[in-house]
Amino acid sequence: MDYVMGEDNMDTNSDGDHVVVVGGGVVGLCVAYYALRSGKQVTVLEREPEAGDNCSAENAGMVVPSHFVPLAAPGMIALGLRWMLNPESPFSFSIRPALIRWAYLFWRHANKSHVDACRSLLCELNLRSRELFVELSTEFDYGLVKRGLLMLCEKTQTLESEATLAAKAKELGMEVEVCSARRLKEIDPDVDMAVAGGVWFKEDCHLSPHAFLSGLREQISERGGQFIYDADVKGFCTEAGKVRAVRVSSGPCNNDEVDAEQVVIAGGAWSPDLARELGLSLPMASGKGYSMTLEDPVQLPRVCSILTEARVAVTPIGDTLRFAGTMEIGGRNLAVNERRIRGICRSVSRCFPKFQMQHFDGVNRWAGLRPCAPDGLPYIGPVGPVASNAFIVTGHAMMGLSLAPVTGHLVAQLLGGGLPDIDIAKLAPVRF
């Protein structure tokens, strides 16, 4: 349901708390959904058109409790430097002045003590989010498949490293199994694999991102939420330490203001621009990733997987098969680098020998930006004293979809003035 402007202004919520959510990606939609469930009145401002290319729609579609190690982890800098020498590798870093602070903070956090301090929190967030995904699947159908995830390893050395990680996952209470190549064939007999072995994280899931987003929008509309598309948010009107309106300068709200009693910034890679308007410097890098979806794959796995060495995600979505990967740290340029695409395709053909390079000819290449905080943890919490009624939710990196429901749930608790039922002090946007 589109937002209908009044004669004088855009506020149709004279009663109750009106929450304006800036950003209509999966995180923003989950915030809107849970805010509505808690009794709030909600307007979602989305910069794309109604049928636009939302960044969340073409991602890997994975729910990953297995991902309890933050992006800033031991060995990542050395690995990243090696990868930068290979134009087909899964990683690149564009050196620019705006990223100097981010790179320094990443270096400061890429150590064992940081991982040890964060893994329990990330595990708790992911497992709670999985519970919420299961609950949401009873509200609307979005193709949730609960068969786990396979971390596939081409090399024995990689498998040994993943087995060490699996042992830590077991310590956190996860269901996990280290598998030989023969065991992998038992788990997923529908696809040929040329790998040394893998790790099966049994609580992971996968789904259709498009169906999930569509279902959320329908649920929001049915609960009275409003949408404004083509909404280019330029800033905020503040008064007495609070945001009283959001300034929008395009679409149906040209040069207008959207009145707000509370504001949630969920603008993904564009969130730092909006945070700056409220006096908060938010270290963030945009990590470009690609995906390709084969409509008629030569084989269709039953279980989603990640090709560990290549960092490529493989997700069966209905009768289609999606491949997603790369992390190009840099600006907001969405141009497709075909050499990175070739790297994805080569890794697929190595691990799944039935797939050949020509199977990807003519397949649409999609690119999107992941918002990456320098410590590998998302930003969830209040902006600070300049705007006591404003909150920021971004920086989820590769786990935006996976953590979206728990993020929405926690933010709804914050909007209601209560304490979140998970301690998220480490995720405070003002932590840097």
Burial class (CB in 10 A: 0-12, 13-18, 19+), 429: buried
Question: Does the pLDDT value for residue 12 go beyond 50?
Answer: no
What is the Cα–Cα distance from 26 to 145, expressed in whole angstroms?
18
- Domain 1-65+111-142+206-282+375-432 grouped into CATH 3.50.50.60: yes
Q: In the block, which residue shows the tokens 């509505």? A: 36
More confident residue, 11 or 277: 277
What does pLDDT average to over the chain?
Answer: 91
pLDDT over 70 percentage in the chain: 94
Q: pLDDT per residue over 27-63, tens digit each?
A: 999 999 999 999 999 999 999 888 766 667 889 999 9
- Most confidently modeled range among 195-199, 280-284, 285-289: 195-199
Q: pLDDT per residue over 308-344, tens digit each?
A: 999 999 999 999 999 999 999 988 889 999 999 999 9
Q: Which run of H or E residues covers position 222? A: helix 209-222
CATH of 66-109+143-205+284-372, one of 3.40.630.10, 3.30.420.40, 3.30.9.10, 3.40.390.10: 3.30.9.10
What is the Cα–Cα distance from 276 to 98, expressed in whole angstroms?
14
Which residues lie closer than 8 Å to 362 by C-beta, 6 or more apart? none
Q: pLDDT per residue over 214-236, tens digit each?
A: 999 999 999 999 999 999 999 99
Question: Does the pLDDT value for residue 98 go beyond 50?
Answer: yes
Q: Where in the chain is the domain with CATH 3.30.9.10?
A: 66-109+143-205+284-372
Predicted local confidence at residue 54, as pLDDT: 62
Q: pLDDT per residue over 370-382, tens digit each?
A: 999 999 999 999 9
If pLDDT is split at 50, 70 and 90, which confidence band does 399 have? very high
Residue type (1 letter), 35: A
Tokens of 392: 């920021």
Mean local confidence (pLDDT), 167-175: 93
The separation between CA 30 and the C-alpha centre of its own chain, rounded to angstroms, equals: 12
Residue type (1 letter), 360: F
Q: Where in the chain is the domain with CATH 3.50.50.60?
A: 1-65+111-142+206-282+375-432
Mean local confidence (pLDDT), 264-268: 96
For 26-59, give one letter per residue: b (16+ CB within 10 A) or e.
bbbbbbbbbbbebebbbbbbbbeeeeeebbbbbb
Predicted local confidence at residue 78, as pLDDT: 77
Q: Which run of H or E residues covers position 287? A: strand 285-294
